[in-house]
A = this chain, B = another copy of it.
Amino acid sequence: MTQTVKIGKLAMLLASLDESERELFIDAFEQVEYCQGKAGSMEVQKVIAAVETAAKRNGIISEHVYRETHALYHAILESLQGVTRGQIGVGNMMRTVGLRFAVVRGKPYDRSEEGEWIAVAFYGTIGAPVKGLEHETFGLGINHI
């Protein structure tokens, strides 16, 4: 069963492309609901809260249904595994500089029973607590909603 709408790829493009580049994919983005944002903090908890707040404020998930928050929460955690490359517990020592994120909600599969899924992508630079130590980092998490 292949995905018709690639919500993960769309989330990655939304998180990493600059404005002029994003216009090249404008038709693809119309297939899904999405929001974007920045996570300026270096604490894992605050990064999670930033994504959840953005997703709720933009109506990507319902504020009042716990299972939607639960679905988003695990997609964020999976995405952060990519950002921290499997060392999410070390996350509190990282110094993020301009970590951008995108949350995409859509129907990746043709069969209607498969319903909606959610993708969370992060892109930015990550560093150790010592100034100057930073390079790009990426993460993608996907869940059913």
Which residues of A are at the interface with B, using a C-beta cutoff of 8 A? Answer: 1-3, 6-9, 12, 16, 21, 24-25, 44-45, 48-49, 52, 62, 64-67, 69-71, 73-74, 77-78, 81-82, 85-93, 108-109, 113-115, 117, 119, 121, 123, 125, 128-130, 132-144
User: In the complex, A128→B7 CA distance in Å?
Assistant: 19
Interfacial chain B residues near A25, Cβ < 8 Å:
21
Contact residues in B for A137 (Cβ distance below 8 Å): 8, 140, 142
Check if A135 sits within 8 Å of B142, measured CB to CB.
yes
Number of copies: 6
Residues A3 and B136 in contact, CB atoms below 8 Å apart = yes
Chain B min CB distance to A138 (Å)? 4
- In angstroms, how far is the closest chain B Cβ from the Cβ of A46? 9
**Alpha-carbon gap, A115 to B16, bound state (A):** 24
Cβ A117 vs Cβ B135 within 8 A: yes
14 A–B pairs (Cβ distance < 8 Å), ordered by A = A7-B136, A12-B12, A12-B138, A21-B25, A45-B92, A65-B113, A66-B109, A69-B132, A70-B143, A73-B133, A77-B87, A78-B86, A117-B135, A137-B140
